[in-house]
Amino acid sequence: MITQVRLATFVALLALLVAPYAAYADQESDPLPSWNDGAVKTAILDYVLRVTTEDSPDFIAEADRIATFDNDGTLWVEKPVYTQFVFVMDRVKAVSNQHPEWKTKEPFKSVLDGNTEKLLTYGEKGAMALVTATHSGMTTVEFNEIVSNWLKTAKHPRFKRLYTDLTYKPMIELLHYLRAKGFKTFIVSGGGTAFMRAYTEQCYGIPPWQVVGSSGETEYRMWDSSPTLVKLPDLLFFDDGPGKAEGINHYIGRQPVFAFGNSIGDKEMLEWTANCKGLCFMGLVHHDDATREYAYGPNSDVGRFPVELMEHALANGWNVVSMKDDWNQVFSWSQSDAETSSTQPDAQ
């Protein structure tokens, strides 16, 4: 009996001695090795420590640790055009033999002619016409297979790598770090929900049910004697600008306490996050690295980051990531001079 008491006492003392060193070791390990030491990295680590420490006045219960991330330009490359838009153009070309009228009908003609500059002038209306033509009239299963197969072969024109290789390593580390600290991570993007769900779990560890995006209508039908969902040409929900806050409320049902974007389309999501109860974190990725990725901002057709957004962010204490200064590595693979200079970057 005495031996058991002594043993228990020894174990308790040992635990007291080891605990401080364990905590110190945890603090010394770096969960964000691709982030350079600086104000933004410090802000992230400090925020997570404060909201996950139980005796902290800023403690947030796990159920309320909701983190939302834009996708294009925040988690992976969006230049020279959005990845889904590249997919749409490839689909137009792939099925154009079934639509001879497209040879003279815009915006399809511009796609077939390879005139991307003219294609972009058709704006949102033109994009919707292309998406409607290429994303409907098939079952959801068929569409998922088409996207998955495309992602296995389609390569970026500048980096010559699969689009799934073009995720930002620092942001992947951030996603892993937040989840390790009890956060639930969601994609909230203007991209198509069905398109993103084909790769978000593989690329980010985010399952399909934690993806909020723009969505088209579907209809339940019997297809070849089997119950299916068929994609229709009608838009159900557009998840950009104010729609992001609305989409979060509709599909997630909780206000984020942590949000990251990269453009004017994310402003409302970050504003709504900033109004959360308790301590909140708002971040923006600023693309200012023409050597390793792209440098663009106020006048860009894709991922526009106007001067007023920068001013708003700085005035309200949002964290602006300089890709050039805050990240010591952009992608998970090593970038050679040939890969990074094969195409002149868009510096808008």
Q: What is the CATH number of the domain that holds 55?
A: 3.40.50.1000
Residue 278 is assigned to a structural domain of this protein: yes
Q: Which long-range contacts (CB under 8 A, 24 or more apart) does 152-157 make?
A: 154/86, 154/87, 154/90, 156/77, 157/80, 157/343
Residue 217 is assigned to a structural domain of this protein: yes
Which neighbouring-strand residues pair with 211? 187
**Of 330, 62, 68, 280, nearest to 173 (Cα)?**
330
Residue 204 is assigned to a structural domain of this protein: yes
- Which pLDDT score is estimated for 295? 97
Count of domains for the chain:
1
- Can you list the alpha helix ranges (DSSP code H) found in the chain? 2-28, 39-52, 83-95, 108-113, 116-120, 123-135, 140-151, 169-180, 193-196, 200-204, 242-247, 267-274, 307-315, 323-326, 337-341
Residue 176 is assigned to a structural domain of this protein: yes
Structure confidence by residue, pLDDT tens digits, 305-340: 999 999 999 999 999 999 999 999 999 998 764 454
Q: What is the 3-state secondary structure (H, E, C) of 195-244?
A: HHCCCHHHHHCCCHHHEEEEEEEEEEEEECCEEEEEEEEEEEECCCCHHH
Whole-structure pTM value: 0.88
Residue 101 is assigned to a structural domain of this protein: no
Consecutive 10-residue runs of the chain (348 residues): their mean pLDDT?
44 37 51 98 98 97 98 97 95 94 94 89 86 91 96 97 98 98 97 96 97 94 90 91 95 97 97 96 98 93 94 97 98 70 47
* Alpha carbon distance 341, 219 (integer Å): 46
Residue 25 is assigned to a structural domain of this protein: no
- Which pLDDT score is estimated for 28? 53
Find the domain containing 311 and state its range. 31-80+160-341
Residue 182 is assigned to a structural domain of this protein: yes
Residue 259 is assigned to a structural domain of this protein: yes
